[in-house]
Structures are given as C-alpha cells and as structure tokens.
Chain A
Amino acid sequence: MRALALALLLVAPLAQAGEIPAAERRSDTVTMSAELRAMQADDMANPASFWALDGQTLWDAKAGTSGKSCADCHGDAQASMKGVAARYPAFDGATGRVLDLEARINQCRTDRQGAPPLAMESRELLDLTTYVGLQSRGAPISSSDPRLAPAIETGRQLFSARQGQLNLSCAICHDDNWGRKLGGATVPQAHPTGYPIYRLEWQSVGSLQRRLRNCMVGMRAEPYPFGSDAYIALEAFLMFRAKGLPMETPAVRP
C-alpha cells in the first residue's frame, strides 16, 4: 500500500505532463546557433545533401528478384513522396502493424522488390529515408489516422515512464524543463521535425531511433533493439505531439 502510494506520488505530476501548450510548440531549429541554422538552410552547406543525392540514385536503381526500382512503381519521388514522411509512422492495414518510414521501405523491399531488408542505420537505408523525407520539407506533421491511437498511447506511457539508473523519463526533460540548460546545451522540446538528421556529434546522418537510443543511453537505461515496437510507438507519439510543425528533413543538429 505504501509502495503504491509512493508510486502514485511519483507518477501523479507526470500525468499532467506531455502537453507543451500549442502556442509554445516549436522546432528546436530556433534555439540553435545562427551558424548551424545557416548550415541547415543551405543545401550547399548541409552535409545531409550527400545522403539525399545518394538516395535519389538508389530510388532509381533496380533491386531484388523483381528487377524493379522504387521509381518503377512510385514514379518521381518529388511528386509521389510529397508530404508522405509527415504522416509517418503509419498504420499498415495488411499486417495490422504500425510502421515507421524505415520499416515501410524495408517492407517494400522484401514484399515487392524481392530484395533483402536494409539494416537499420545502414548507409543505404539512411540514403532512402533522407531522400523520401526531403520531399516533405515544409509539410506540416499530420498523423491523423485513428488506428494509430494504441501506438500513440503506448508511446505516451513510454515517454512519461521513469527508466534507467538516473530514474529519468523523457518527459522530465522535454516537457517539464525544455528551454533550460543541461550543461552547456539547451534542453530541446524534442519534436522529430527533421529526421533523419545530420548530427555534428555523429559526423553523419542518423535516424530518429538512433537519437532515441542516444537519449536512453544518456539516462543509463537499456536501449530497445533497433526496429522494436517500443521505438515505433515512441516515434508515433512524438509525431502526434509535434502535430502541425513543419517538416525540416534533413535537419542539422549539434
């Protein structure tokens, strides 16, 4: 009983959390230095352009036993993929699962192209997700499928649950203390507007799952395996939480 009361005491303040008022919701691009913002805004200076260019090449390259390329079915990505990344993760009616962009691309590869799935964080998968994500630049995040509700709810719980040796939750930083300092860095609101991102610390492009893994390791929690439902639920919740913000893929972050 006492344990329950204590648990309730710990959980109770978090029940309110998760809600940054709509008027205060913003991409963390605005808190970056002017130099980084310039780097993100200029495709000539944004190193993620290399990933997008290679993604364009892969889009047109035939793969697998079907001998088909992405373009053979989807045509010109600039038209067919416009705004698509802004509504992912999405519910897949055929399998009844929620898929993020990485999982969708791999599903397309295995089911339609007859090609082996690409490993998470492999160069090829990042190329393709960057290229597809780029086509949604400027589109408002708009995940409105009601079938996503269970994943969003799971994601919300994971976001608010304390975990790891530091006993932190995502919400403690990103809902309750955004805008304040953690060491030299400003705590971001953590909206996934720009993924995959070029992160200076990584010297590379990385996915949202890699970023989530990074945060979990920072909290000294056990990270989930890449591609797990827990990550996809968190991604679904974060996109729901960032609804209306424009996509910035590929963003640059410090």
Chain B
Amino acid sequence: MARALINVPPKAKVGDIIEIKTLVSHPMETGYRVGLGGEILPRNIIQTFTCAYNGEEIYRAEFSPAVAANPYLAFHTLAMETGTLEFRWTGDNDFLLVETASITVE
C-alpha cells in the first residue's frame, strides 16, 4: 500500500525557515538483485520527488537504485504565504503518489 507520512508545521510566521519531513512507503527494488528462483527482480524505484508550494516548485529530488527502501527526505523552505504544499512521487510501473499539506502563515 503506497502511503506517505508528511510533517509540515501547521503555522509559521512570514520569513520563517521551516523544516518539511517526508517518509514514503516504497520497496525501492534495485533491479540488480536475484530472486529465489535465480531470476532478476525487475527494477521498481521512485524516480522523482517534487514539492510545490502554492503551485511553485520549491524542491526536487531524483532517486537512484542505491536509495534505500522507504525513502526519507527532510528539507527547508521559507514560509511566505498561507497555502498548500503538494508532494508528488513518481516512479517505475507508473507509480504516482500525490499528497498535500496546508500551512498557515501569519
């Protein structure tokens, strides 16, 4: 089950540096491992992650097969205005997970 945990401070002051933490449930199968029958396990990874703040992209990450399962990302941004943060993970096998979080900036 694709699932993500997102931690965004619910409130901030204008100009505050806020920390955003995300954890996503994903096997991150490298494509280099062999299964019990000796067959190559097909690659199944998240390829990109983006975070948009009121529609504007503020953070992007590209993943490789070397990234561990259930990738955790923490990054910072400036709190500018009240609005929505949209988190988007895309990957192999048409993997798409979109989550949103709201923040109130005073």
Task: Count how many chain A residues have C-beta atoms less than 8 Å from C-beta atoms of the other chain.
Answer: 12
B21 to A, closest residue via Cβ? A44
A51 to B, closest residue via Cβ? B25
Are A45 and B23 in contact, CB atoms less than 8 angstroms apart? yes
Task: Count how many chain B residues have C-beta atoms less than 8 Å from C-beta atoms of the other chain.
Answer: 13
Bound Cα distance A45, B5 (Å): 8
**With A44-B7, A203-B28 as contacts: A50 and B21 at CB distance below 8 Å:** no
Are B25 and A50 in contact, CB atoms less than 8 angstroms apart? yes
Are B21 and A47 in contact, CB atoms less than 8 angstroms apart? no
Neighbouring A residues of B1 by C-beta, 8 Å: 54
Total number of residue pairs linking A and B with CB closer than 8 Å: 29
**With A203-B68, A203-B69, A203-B70 as contacts: A47 and B3 at CB distance below 8 Å:** no
Q: Is B95 an interface residue (CB 8 A)?
A: no
Neighbouring A residues of B68 by C-beta, 8 Å: 200, 203
CB A98 to nearest CB in B, in angstroms, measures: 32
Neighbouring B residues of A200 by C-beta, 8 Å: 68
Selected contact of A204 from candidates B21, B23, B69, B72, CB within 8 Å: B69
Chain B residues close to A by CB (< 8 Å): 1, 3, 5, 7, 21, 23, 25, 27-28, 68-70, 72
In the complex, 12 of the A-B residue pairs with CB atoms within 8 angstroms, ordered by the A residue number, are A44-B21, A44-B23, A45-B23, A47-B23, A47-B69, A47-B70, A49-B23, A50-B3, A50-B25, A50-B70, A200-B68, A203-B68
